[in-house]
Amino acid sequence: MTLDNIKEEIEKANSIVLLTHENPDGDAIGSTLAFYLALKQLGKEVDIIIPKFSRTFAFLPGAEKIMKEGTKTQYDLAIALDSADLKRLNGWVNYFEDAKVTVSIDHHGSNQMYADFNFVNPAAPACAQILVTVLEFLQVEITKDIGTCLLTGIITDTGGFKYPGVTAETFEFASWLLGIGVNVSEIYKKVLQVKTKSNFELSKIAMDRLEFLEDGKIAYTYITNEDLEKVNAETGDHEGLVEIGRDVEGVEVSIFLREEEKGIKASLRSNDYLNVSDVCIAFGGGGHPRAAGCTIIGTMEHAKQKIISQIKQNLK
Ligand code: 5GP
Ligand code: MN
């Protein structure tokens, strides 16, 4: 069984590196930090490499241990969390590829099974929820700190327990965490409610530009690098903007575009039936049926047209 293999590899490894996807969200950061704290509890030597992340998550236990670069070029074991494919590991993929053994723990249906051992469960609403099973298997004690990181992943990836992927286990675990003293409402407030000023300013811009297409079934908006500069945006300040359009009556798909070094980054969300992961896979990206992303080379207008024509094939 995969978990037996993962346990054995962790036991054998003298050096472990933890990695997650670029533009890391709360599940990426929360899962990685929870696993870091767990491995430290098991007495392992662990590096955690995340070159850039939103300061929203800087309060999490262990966040101060996050490094921009590794202390080694080759680790015995590399573990990628919440990452559907190797491309998503971006510039730090070399730590993964150069490691002697690799593991992926993830909940994306589009996971490419790129590691030596892949523990993937697309039915889990967050990678952090899968870790509850993994940590129990590894006989790690889920402390208040580990619980805080896990709950951050669960809260962010379920939109605060409201997405359909939420299971009875999600609430059971949250309830158990409350019982051991994890401050659920404080975490909720910090990771979902409070916005940075720049994020708020970007929301105004994105809202102002929101366009409805195809009889109001598609919502489209974007921000440019110029906008980011104008509001002094930092890493992660664009988070949540795609949800503005998704939450308008009659909208099935919301598209949000922004400029990145590699091209135009698209974030897609859907409400009832349209599989946005499939739409994004067509452009080399992926994600979940109701939340996905991809990068398209070219202008913003080009990316917009490409995505809309792909969506139209499946719009009812
Ligand atoms: P977001 O729109 O918040 O950036 O991402 C939504 C979901 O799609 C997340 O689960 C994220 O990991 C996934 N995702 C976003 N961009 C990409 C991409 O370029 N490739 C893949 N495989 N998944 C992506
Ligand atoms: Mn996730």
**Quick one: which of 257, 246, 126 has its CA closest to 202?**
257
**CA torsion, points 153, 159, 165, 171, in degrees to nearest 10?**
70
| pLDDT for the residue numbered 261 | 92
pLDDT along the chain (316 residues), means of 10: 97 98 96 98 97 96 97 97 92 94 97 97 97 98 98 97 94 96 96 96 98 98 98 96 98 98 97 97 95 97 98 94
DSSP class of 167: -
Burial class (CB in 10 A: 0-12, 13-18, 19+), 139: exposed
Dist CA 80 CA 299 (whole Å) = 32
Dist CA 299 CA 316 (whole Å) = 28
Residue nearest to atom 3 of ligand 1 (CA): 267
E strands, 134-197, are none
| Dist. CA 93 → ligand 1 center (Å) | 17
| pLDDT for the residue numbered 91 | 76
Under 8 Å between Cβ of 257 and 304:
yes
Dist CA 249 CA 173 (whole Å) = 32
Residue nearest to atom 19 of ligand 1 (CA): 294
Helix axes 2-12, 127-137, angle to 10 degrees: 70
Neighbouring C-alpha atoms within 13 Å toward the C-beta of 8: 8
| pLDDT for the residue numbered 256 | 98
Under 8 Å between Cβ of 251 and 220:
no
| Dist. CA 218 → ligand 1 center (Å) | 19
Neighbouring-strand partners of residue 257: 222, 266
- Kindly report the pTM of this predicted structure: 0.95
| Dist. CA 23 → ligand 2 center (Å) | 12
From the CA of 257, the nearest ligand is: 1
Under 8 Å between Cβ of 72 and 44:
no
Phi/psi at 7 (nearest 5 deg)?
-60, -45
Q: What tokens appear for 163 in the block? A: 């997405």
Helix axes 26-41, 127-137, angle to 10 degrees: 10
Residue nearest to atom 7 of ligand 1 (CA): 292
Dist CA 92 CA 286 (whole Å) = 19
Q: Which residue has the tokens 């047209």?
A: 305
| pLDDT for the residue numbered 191 | 96
- Closest atom, ligand 1, to C-alpha of 27: 10
| Dist. CA 174 → ligand 1 center (Å) | 25
Dist CA 253 CA 213 (whole Å) = 10
Phi/psi at 162 (nearest 5 deg)?
-110, -10
| pLDDT for the residue numbered 90 | 80
Domains of the chain: 2-192 (3.90.1640.10), 197-312 (3.10.310.30)
- Closest atom, ligand 1, to C-alpha of 256: 2
